[in-house]
């Protein structure tokens, strides 16, 4: 079982936001729709049923102990070439280093 990260929570719940306040059950539904891992679903289900947030920053404030981690693609989003694995010294998108 691997640790849930801030990036994973962001990727799995971003679909819940955009039309006002979001409840815990809405977050869980968005995570299920994004095929989130069971650990993510358990973490969100563990929030108070009275929780309401209006954006990802609010949600992440409720989960202060989550570590940063590698970028996780969101629902329907695939990692592009160069994002899955970057060569040492490569540029921001995995290309050649900037001329200096």
Q: What percent of the chain has pLDDT over 90?
A: 62
pTM score: 0.68
Residue 88 pLDDT grade (very low, low, confident, very high; cuts 50, 70, 90)? very low
Quick check: 84 pLDDT over 50?
A: no
Contact between 94 and 80 under an 8 Å Cβ cutoff? The reply is: no
Please write the tens of the pLDDT for every residue from 27-41: 999 999 999 999 999
Which SS3 state, helix, strand or coil, does residue 23 take? strand
What pLDDT score does 1 carry?
Answer: 56
Quick check: 85 pLDDT over 60?
A: no
Closest by CA position to 3, among listed 57, 70, 60, 55 = 70
Contact between 60 and 66 under an 8 Å Cβ cutoff? The reply is: yes
């Amino acid at each position: 079982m691997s640790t849930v990260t801030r990036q994973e929570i962001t990727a799995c719940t971003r679909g819940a936001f955009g039309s006002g306040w979001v409840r815990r059950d809405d977050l869980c539904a968005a995570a299920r729709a994004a095929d989130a891992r069971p650990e993510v679903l358990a973490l969100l289900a563990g929030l108070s049923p009275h929780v309401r947030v209006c954006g990802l920053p609010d949600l992440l404030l409720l989960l202060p102990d989550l570590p940063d981690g590698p970028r996780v693609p969101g629902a329907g989003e695939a990692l592009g070439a160069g994002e899955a694995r970057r060569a040492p010294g490569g540029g921001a998108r995995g290309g050649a280093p900037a001329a200096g």
